[in-house]
Amino acid sequence: MQNWDAMNDDDFRMEVRRFIEQNYPEDLRFLAHRPRFNVIKPWLMLLVEKGWSAPHWPLQYGGMGLSPRKLLIFMDEQGRWGVARQFLGESGTVQLGPMLIRFGTEEQRQTLLPKIRTYETIWCQGYSEPNAGSDLASLTTEAVIDGDDFVINGRKIWTSSALDATHMYLLARTDKQAKKQQGISFLLVDLATPGITIRGIKNIAGTTDYCEVTLDNVRTPRHNIVGGLNQGWTVSRSLMGFERINTGSPRRAEFAFKRLEALARERGLFKDAGFLDRYTQLGLDLADLKAVYMYFADMVSRGETLGPDLSVLQILSSETNQRITEFMLEASGDLGLTVSAGEDDNEGVDALTPFLVMRAVTIGAGTAEIHRNIIAKRILNLPA
Asked if 160 and 87 count as a contact pair (C-beta separation under 8 A), the reply is yes
Classify each residue of 74-87 as buried b or exposed e, where b means 16 or more C-beta atoms within 10 Å of its C-beta: bbbbbbeebbbbbb
Q: Using alpha carbons only, how large is the chain's radius of gyration in Å?
A: 21
Q: Which DSSP string do the residues of 61-82 spell out, in sequence order?
A: GTS----HHHHHHHHHHHHHTT
Span between the terminal Cα atoms of the chain, in Å:
54
Asked if 289 and 322 count as a contact pair (C-beta separation under 8 A), the reply is no
Cα angle value 314/65/232 (rounded, 5°)? 55
Position 132, amino acid: A
Give the residue numbers annotated as catalytic, written as ranges. Answer: 243
Asked if 210 and 156 count as a contact pair (C-beta separation under 8 A), the reply is no
Does residue 177 sit in helix, strand or coil? Answer: coil
Give dist(CA 251, CA 113) in Å, integer.
27
Cα dihedral: 40, 45, 50, 51 (round 10): 100
Give dist(CA 36, CA 28) in Å, integer.
11
